[in-house]
Chain A
Amino acid sequence: MGASRIKWHVVVFLAPAVLVYTAIMIFPLFNTLRLALYSEADQVRAFVGLENFRRLFGDPNWSGAFWNALGNNFWFFFIHMLVQNPIGIALAAILSHPRLRFAAFYRSAIFIPTILSFVIVGFAWKLILSPIWGIAPDMLDAIGLKSLFAPWLGKEEYALTTLALISVWQFVGIPMMLIYAALLSIPEEILEAAEVEGLTGMAAFWKIKLPLILPSIGIISILTFVGNFNAFDLIYAAQGALAGPNFATDILGTFMYRTFFGFQLQLGDPHMGSAIATAMFAIILLGVCVYLFAIQTRIRRYQF
């Protein structure tokens, strides 16, 4: 009898979180997926099945923009993986060095950009890189490298990479902190044992520490993936909704925003917008699944 009794206190304590989460996350998510299956003609909403997706992938006007945005998104992610995470790991390794002075100061200084708003970061970097008032051309001039300066944000070939690097600058503190925490949690005895065996310095890092922090690197990669494929703010703040020049910085987030809410004379189309959002959801879900099933299960974990 006691076993079948409903534990009311559990229900009561769970209810607020479940209700709020359902109302503001789960319901909107599924409603968006549902909205993608409808279309509107002459102010009447009608169920059209997968027609929106056929248009998104079949109509060259839509698919061109979609693949462009997806490609840009992968490049954005690639730069993060290539630059942000190695730098984050290196910084963490340096910070965890016991003889480093002012470690707390460096840690805070590197982490601070992470808590800044995208709007501030976008605006500040736009000013720094501005060919007219920016300090970047003057600084390059001071060391005689003025010829290397280009209006990076305005050039089709550099704009996306520049923005990705700005984003790296902003968020490098996060992998640094996570790896730093992982490095600190490695027991001294293991390192001492390695030292006894003759492993010190770089060799100790590559052979002992790196394998032990691999699970953290995996988590960071997946966080970076989700963050990058959901990105929108920085591009919008720096380049506007049209993600210029010539859509070179258009990622799925800005493409979805333009379609869903409309832009200038382009009227918003919530149904096509939802279809893009659904595609984004599917891409992120797929990425996370690949990680969970193909990578995470194979990472060896060490118990101390």
Chain B
Amino acid sequence: MKTRVLSAILLASTALGGAAWAETTLTIESWRNDDLTLWQDKIIPAFEAKHPDIKVKFTPSAPAEYNAVLNAKLDAGSAGDLITCRPFDTSLGLYQNGHLADLSDLGGMANFSDVAKSAWQTDDGAATFCVPMASVIHGFIYNKDAFAELGLNVPETEAEFFDVLEKIKADGSYIPMAMGTNDQWEAATMGYNNIGPNYWKGEEGRLALINGEQKLTDEAWVAPYRALAKWGGYLGDGYEAQTYPDSQNLFTLGRAAIYPAGSWEITGFNAQADFEMGAFKPPVQNAGDKCYISDHTDIAIGMNAASPNPEAARTFLDWVGSEEFANIYANALPGFFSLSSFDVPMQDPLAQEFVSWRGECGSTIRSTYQILSRGTPNLENETWNASVQVIKGAESPEDAGKRLQDGLASWYDPQK
């Protein structure tokens, strides 16, 4: 009897003790291995200070392997509770396969605009499955010292832009623009989709293309190729074999004057370059035209539908939607801009420059990302190829537009 009471007390105490110390551990899957220290030193401590009962672990994998690794883990049931979401179809596929939970009713979602959420919604917008974290903005970063040395002003229009390039080329001490075509994606991402929104009027053109009201052979979609075709003469010697890291190094070593950029370069460039940098937005066709920028929704975070800790995971995601998170993230990673509707103050001057364009220009996202790259031939891959071919002069802008249009029309009903 005595022993039974004792064991009962012991049992109860372990149960109680267990309850009192219950602590949930959440694991985050991500491809941002560059951000490991940021998460460990800033984001996670800030969250844990508010929610001492939840521990968070950030476990990133290599960017190029992330999609494959994540899919394998999800199928095997060993994926983390929280999943960093790529934009559009990759994440939509995960949601449709039941791997991502519906988060439409999450409180924090109210802090995001519809455009911000569009990358992580079903096509009809009925369900949102990831909390938007950040976007990247396209534009051009330039070497301020070089511009001062050559007495150049920041170009506003296309004509001024090529005028500046011509002057740098004529002077000869700098490569006018640092970009190569070896890796292909820069030509499409930093080329076509960087300057393009000014021609197709941002969201207006992008949505018209999705609805089938515009075609890739229309002037608005061919004109950016016509501008790109002129770039070839201003890229460095042997740009055909120049890789992305080559371009970054050429610019940060001060050998090139202009770098067609995405804002994600800011952190790296700040660390590497020892000259002053500035940024200018993609040039408009005529002075006074309304400007449009590519403010691309890039990263979000969702919940593994099979997570054993849905409550804790939702608590964390709710916090990701808060002003506190937006502040920490945007300032620790200048160049990844918060998508929330909070007014987030930033310290980095280059990042401020980029984000200031949101006030004066219309924001859009990369034209090929939503819906249009679902079929074969894949419009995004084709755009990489076409942009490179046009820059090299191997294909005329009109032919490129026609090829892309034919490819898209072959599988996309609204374009048939």
Contacts and interface: CB of A to CB of B under 8 A. Distances in A.
Interface of A: 43, 61-62, 126, 129-133, 137, 150-156, 239-240, 242, 244-247, 261-267
A298 B384 CA distance: 50
Contact of A247 (B241, B385, B410): B385
B181 A265 contact: no
Contacts of A242: 184, 381, 384-385
A151 B378 contact: no
Given A132-B246, A242-B384, A244-B184, A61 B377 contact: yes
3 nearest A-B residue pairs (beta carbon): A131-B238, A154-B240, A154-B241
Contact of B239 (A62, A133, A154): A154
A245 B240 contact: yes
Nearest to B379: A265
Interface string B218-246: 00000000000000000011111111001
Contacts of B237: 131-132
B7 interface: no
Given A43-B97, A154-B242, A266 B250 contact: no
B156 interface: no
Nearest to A59: B376
A104 B88 CA distance: 58
A152 B238 CA distance: 9
Given A246-B385, A265-B378, A266-B381, A153 B182 contact: yes
Contact of A240 (B88, B184, B242): B184
Interface string B307-328: 0000000000000000000000
Interface string B234-267: 0011111111001000100000000000000000
By DSSP majority rule, is chain A's interface helix, strand, loop, or mixed? Answer: loop
Interface string B384-401: 110011001010000000
Nearest to A60: B410
B250 A265 contact: no
B203 interface: no
B242 A245 contact: no
A154 B181 contact: yes
B93 interface: yes
B382 to A, nearest CB: 10
A187 B192 CA distance: 67
Contacts of A262: 67
Query: Which residue of B236, B238, B394 has the most chain A CB atoms within 10 A of its CB atom?
Result: B238
A82 B84 CA distance: 50
B369 A265 contact: yes
Given A242-B184, A244-B184, A265-B369, A131 B241 contact: yes
B177 to A, nearest CB: 14
Contact of B240 (A133, A137, A151): A151
Contacts of B388: 244-246
B260 to A, nearest CB: 17
A132 B381 contact: no
Contacts of A266: 373, 376, 378, 380-381
Contacts of B376: 61-62, 266
Contacts of B369: 265
Contact of A265 (B89, B240, B392): B89
Contacts of B380: 264-266
A245 B96 contact: no
A156 B381 CA distance: 17
Contacts of B240: 151, 153-155, 245
Given A132-B250, A263-B381, A153 B185 contact: no
15 contacts: A154-B241, A155-B240, A155-B241, A242-B184, A242-B381, A242-B385, A244-B182, A245-B240, A245-B392, A263-B378, A263-B381, A264-B380, A265-B88, A265-B379, A267-B89
A159 to B, nearest CB: 9
Interface in B358-416: 368-369, 373-374, 376-381, 384-385, 388-389, 392, 394, 407, 410
Nearest to A64: B377
B68 interface: yes
Nearest to A126: B243
A132 B385 contact: no
A147 to B, nearest CB: 13
Contact of B68 (A150, A152, A246, A261): A261
Interface string B69-103: 00000000000000000001110010011000000
A156 B394 contact: yes
B183 interface: yes
A263 B184 CA distance: 13
Query: Which residue of A43, A245, A263 has the most chain B CB atoms within 10 A of its CB atom?
Result: A245
A265 B243 contact: no
Interface in B285-327: none
B183 A240 contact: yes
Interface in B164-214: 180-185
Contact of A151 (B88, B239, B368): B239
A152 B88 contact: no
Given A242-B384, A244-B184, A263-B381, A154 B238 contact: yes
